[in-house]
Chain A
Amino acid sequence: MFKYLKQLTSLVAMVAVLFTFTTESMAAKKSKTLKNTQKKGFVRCGVSQGLPGFSNADAAGNWTGVDVDVCRAVAAAVLGDANKVKFTPLSAKERFTALTSGEIDILSRNTTWTLSRDADIGLTFVGVNFYDGQGFMVRKSSGITSVNQFKNGISACTNIGTTTELNMRDFFNSKGISYEPVAFEKADEVVAAYDSGRCDTYTTDKSGLAAQRTKMSNPDEHIVLPETISKEPLGPVVRQGDSVWEDIVRWSLNAMIEAEEYGITSANADSMKTSENPAIKRLVGAEGELGAAFGLDNEWSLRIIKQVGNYGESYKRNIADTGILPDRGPNQLWTKGGILYVPPAR
């Protein structure tokens, strides 16, 4: 009897070992990052040190924002729970080193996608979650309503380590205006310096200007000038060399955008399983085997939509309802006059 029991237990153990082997698919084995994330039980995500609408922590330490939602979507897809994210606030200067050194696995920190960043420094941009452009903020009382009214000797506050510094130079050079760049390491200090009158203008991405404006002592005294001087496609970044992880992050973001396109929301996601449209059925996991390619189950995208919501919900919750940028501008679906257009999930 005991002899059989012993054999039985070893059989069970063997089956268990085999089972873990088979469930751990080829993709998971190929992706070290995915394996580590599943082992740790949380997604390591680098965010900003506080940019309302994009990544901002409230008094209780809860992070919200569209950048934060990308990480939450990945956590929902990979771990089944959108809250299993460890956020690391990073300055502009620290962000890429934190990612390449392996301290974080996703950098979702209003980061501009440029050629040199993508090609040079061991990073891969996986998509765009916000189309932005650099602009200028001035005091209303100055009477300036256009960048064409800038004059020689203007002082401009900004952050170091961003594309902003480079665009600013290109802009002022092309206009032939001499300027004084005052570059701080942290955004809070930039705001404080501009707010107190150290600088005549504050320049960064327009979304950033709109968000930081809410932090000023009197937001109504400042306006963002209409001109946009650069293209700033902001998006999540991963380390080079883990293509499976790259795909997971890319398609987590794409799933949110495509869900909005097909009208799938966090509220109706479950009922969409019986939809007539095969594209919708694929997205909520009722048809096809989309998850298998990443080593995930078939409901990865359903979890994203249910727990985080589609892109439109995320935008509304974080950026529109908070009064930062009520108008979606280019960040509207291509079907509604914007430029959000993602490859089909099939």
Chain B
Amino acid sequence: MNFKLKDLGPQLITVLAVVFIFGFFTYNAQINMENRGIDFGYGFLSQESSFDVQFSLIEYDGSHSYFRAYLVGLLNTILVSVIGIIIATILGVIVGVARLSPNYLINKFAAYYVEFFRNIPLLLQIFFWYFAALRALPLPQDAEAIFGVFFLTIKGLYVPAFIWENLNIFFYSILAALIAIIVIRIHAKKLRETQGKQLPVFLISIGLIFILPLLSFLIGGVSLSFEIPQLKQLAATSFVYDGGLSLPPELIALTLSLSLYTATFIAECVRAGIQGVGKGQKEAAASIGLTPNQVLKLVIMPQALRIIIPPTTNQYLNLTKNSSLAAAIAYPDLVLVFAGTALMQTGKAIEIVSITMFTYLSLSISISILMNWYNKRIAIQEK
């Protein structure tokens, strides 16, 4: 009994302290809000928002609800985070490997890149890319076409829009290709383990992912045409591109700065991971006749990944949270749309800030769970 109490005591005290602190602040907020005549409630979420947002992944305008505005902001945050994570990872791996390159120029270039970009505050970099770099872009009427169809202007990047017919059949074909690839991989593994045969799995996979969608075009009735942006005059000196898809410069600047900044940290994780694998491993692998490619793929990388993944998870989380700096350059993310405009229009500070905090928490935890799952998969399987 005594023993148990000793064990439970500190935990009980912690729980009580947490409850007390939380309760104190809730009570305090309630009293103060009552004194100042502020109502508390989440009912505003269904009211009409009556403000427009520059860039939205779902259909939205001011006649929709505040909840819809919240979704718009959330999706924009997720969009910039996902693109940022993908670019940062690719760039980070390349730079990380480049830092270990025996080539002096590549090695030094990568080192300077890392030292330069990770030592300048992110907000400054965002301002730099938005105001300095993007502002150097031409006005729409002066823009030169890239490949005849892309237009990079101060008002954004205009790309041709895809106009699909029978888009669902195209998706099914991709899905079919993916399933076929998984089946083939399982089969190839079995062959290798039972008969020692090596199937060119990679080539087959590439072939499938191209051929099946292609077939959907030829016989499935899928067709794709492009809508190329056209220059349109608004006034004597003011132009815009009409039609096609436009990526606002705010999104481009934010993605660029977030990925360039985070890539430096990922590069260091990758470098640390590769250097963390013993030299003997590489030599032993080479001595049993594995090709350099196989050495990297089968021996070095699986071990390096165990070192790389946990700190890289942190970088993914940082990137997602840093995307909230978007408000500085008018990218309509969650903070700007919901914790900014919506908060101002409704005055529901506590409600909106709590929702926003909870949303970021959920986003971060989702990334954590995903990365932990992956980390467990690649960890040493003790048998």
Contacts and interface: CB of A to CB of B under 8 A. Distances in A.
Interface of A: 92-93, 96-97, 100, 116-117, 120-122, 138-139, 141-144, 149-151, 153-155, 157, 160-162, 165-166, 168-170, 173, 179-186, 189, 192-193, 196-198, 200, 239-241
Q: Which 5 A-B pairs have the closest CB atoms?
A: A121-B347, A161-B344, A143-B236, A122-B36, A142-B235
A189 B62 CA distance: 24
A11 B46 CA distance: 66
A40 to B, nearest CB: 20
Nearest to A164: B51
Contacts of A122: 33, 36-38, 347
B336 interface: yes
Interface string B200-241: 000000000000000000000000000000001011111010
B36 A241 contact: yes
A168 B50 CA distance: 10
A239 B328 CA distance: 29
- Interface range on chain B (Cβ under 8 Å from partner): 35 or more
B322 to A, nearest CB: 16
A320 B315 CA distance: 53
B188 interface: no
Given A142-B238, A151-B235, A161-B343, 19 more contacts: A92-B344, A116-B347, A120-B39, A122-B33, A122-B37, A153-B234, A154-B234, A157-B330, A160-B340, A161-B344, A165-B341, A179-B52, A180-B248, A181-B51, A182-B330, A184-B329, A184-B330, A185-B327, A185-B340
Contacts of B236: 141-144
A230 to B, nearest CB: 13
A200 B238 CA distance: 7
Contacts of B135: 196-198
Interface in B318-352: 327-330, 332, 336, 340-341, 343-347, 349
A170 to B, nearest CB: 8
B237 A93 contact: no
A166 B330 contact: no
A253 to B, nearest CB: 22
Nearest to A179: B52
B131 A155 contact: no
10 contacts: A122-B36, A151-B235, A155-B240, A181-B52, A183-B54, A183-B336, A197-B154, A198-B135, A198-B155, A239-B36
A161 B341 contact: yes
A154 B154 CA distance: 14
Contacts of A93: 340, 343-344
A141 B234 CA distance: 12
A286 B114 CA distance: 73
Contact of A180 (B36, B38, B39, B54): B54
Q: Which of A96, A116, A155, A239 has the most CB of B within 10 A?
A: A155
Contacts of B53: 181
Contacts of A92: 344
Contacts of A157: 330
B303 to A, nearest CB: 46
B145 to A, nearest CB: 19
A122 B347 CA distance: 9
Contact of A166 (B36, B51, B139, B235): B51
Contacts of B235: 138, 142-144, 149, 151, 200
Interface in B294-324: none
B268 interface: no
Nearest to B330: A184
B92 interface: no
Contact of B234 (A184, A193, A200): A200
Contact of A161 (B50, B250, B340): B340
A166 B50 contact: yes
B35 interface: yes
Contact of A169 (B52, B330, B347, B349): B52
A198 B154 contact: yes
Contact of A143 (B52, B237, B242): B237
Contacts of A240: 36-37
Interface string B235-257: 11110101000001110000000
A17 B344 CA distance: 46
A153 B232 contact: yes
A86 to B, nearest CB: 21
A241 B237 contact: no
